[in-house]
Amino acid sequence: MSKERLVVAVVGATGAVGREMLKTLEEREFPAYEVRALASARSAGTTVPFKGGELTVQELTEDSFGDVDIALFSAGGGTSAKFAPHAVKAGCVVVDNSSQWRMDERCPLVVPEVNPDDLKWHNGIIANPNCSTIQMVVALKPLHDAATIRRVVVSTYQAVSGTGQKAIDELETQVRQMFNLQEPEAKVYPHRIAFNCLPHIDVFLEDGYTKEERKMIEETVKIMGDASIKVTATTVRVPVFYGHSESLNVETEKKLTAAQARAVLSQAPGVTVLDNPEEKIYPMAIDAAGEDDTFVGRIREDHTIENGLNMWVVADNLRKGAALNAVQVAEELIDRSLLDIGDPDKFL
């Protein structure tokens, strides 16, 4: 089914990702007849910029979705848990950016460059993966197709915007406070983030990993559709506003030289290879911010194992890591005529 007059709602439109979703819909000329901005009662009546004008924010309620075709959610897991089932009940397809539905067997977890065919079996809610996972699998998929990945060791350097607008504000405030010789206040993070690195993203689990690390491990297997890929992760928050960086160590079944890996990645959708160390060219967060692609560089062989590669992967966490991926999923749903939701009571 394709709809003539598509109504799209952005849930969490006042947040860092929600604003980026609106910008992405605008930039990509998403075929929406109407775009609606929804957030909490706190923001109702305020405005958010869209297409040179403004949208008035409406309060999200269970009844917000009667005439909405696609809802892009980025308002936290609790909000998705509560409201996404009502959206589906009303016949609206949900693309959800929270972690609420990612490992739910009823919900595909989709990165359009990697597993677009999983959209075929959606039941009304499609999950957008974790920001760190998205950019990693965009780089891993072409290597997996070429040489079969056995194991990945990833360490992340994640920007504060991944935590939301309040964390962007906190880093800025702390930097100002420190330059004014004031005691920096930590409210969002458990410690100061300005001029510091926190090896702690999301909560700690019983085995010593953080939930962010667990997400990278489990989500990668679900997206790649291959339970034999082993992933281990260390996730770190760094004092960067926009753009997540990742160090990847990848072990493959077949040998890939650095040159072969570079060639494979150069042809991959959504990837730009930036890899000329002699000219000091490599991916950096300051260059990736505001860009759509995932940037890969520092590609080199790992001499400690038979078939191993090291690389450095950077992407804009609010764009490819969140808003852009969600909008791409919505575009695929339209292109593939997949806006029917089947059983509307599946999630209630």
Contacting residues toward ligand A2P, per CB under 6 A: 12-16, 18, 39-40, 42-43, 60, 75-76, 79, 164-166
Q: How far apart are CA 71 and CA 8, in angstroms?
A: 6
Q: What secondary structure letter does DSSP report for 204?
A: B
CB 256 within 8 A of CB 307: yes
Q: List, as one string, the DSSP characters of 51-102.
A: TTEEEE-EE--TTTTTT-SEEEE-S-HHHHHHHHHHHHHTT-EEEE-SSTTT
Q: Catalytic pick from 86, 122, 144, 244?
A: 244
Distances (CA, A) of 286 to 188, 219, 270, 340: 23, 27, 18, 40
Token digits for 224? 């790649």
Minimum Å distance from CB 249 to ligand A2P?
31
Minimum Å distance from CB 73 to ligand A2P?
9
Whether 191 sits among the annotated catalytic residues: the reply is: no
Output 18 or 112, the one with its CB closest to ligand A2P: 18
Minimum Å distance from CB 57 to ligand A2P?
7
Q: How far apart are CA 135 and CA 296, in angstroms?
A: 10
Strand partners, 71: 9, 94
Amino acid at 117: D
Q: Catalytic pick from 86, 92, 107, 131?
A: 131
Output 13 or 238, the one with its CB closest to ligand A2P: 13
Output 63 or 183, the one with its CB closest to ligand A2P: 63
CB 322 within 8 A of CB 128: yes
Q: How far apart are CA 290 and CA 288, in angstroms?
A: 6
> In 135-252, which ranges are E strands?
149-158, 230-237, 244-252
Minimum Å distance from CB 207 to ligand A2P?
27
Minimum Å distance from CB 61 to ligand A2P?
9
Nearest residue relative to ligand A2P (C-beta): 15
End-to-end CA distance of the chain: 24
Minimum Å distance from CB 232 to ligand A2P?
28
Minimum Å distance from CB 100 to ligand A2P?
13
Output 9 or 111, the one with its CB closest to ligand A2P: 9
Whether 92 sits among the annotated catalytic residues: the reply is: no
Output 10 or 107, the one with its CB closest to ligand A2P: 10
Output 13 or 314, the one with its CB closest to ligand A2P: 13
Instruction: Convert 215-227 to b/e letters by CB count within 10 Å (16 or more is b).
Output: bbbbbbebbbeee
Q: Is 60 exposed, middle or buried (0-12, 13-18, 19+ CB in 10 A)?
A: buried
Q: How far apart are CA 215 and CA 121, in angstroms?
A: 22
Chain position carrying tokens 């909405």: 68
Output 20 or 275, the one with its CB closest to ligand A2P: 20
Catalytically annotated residues: 131, 244
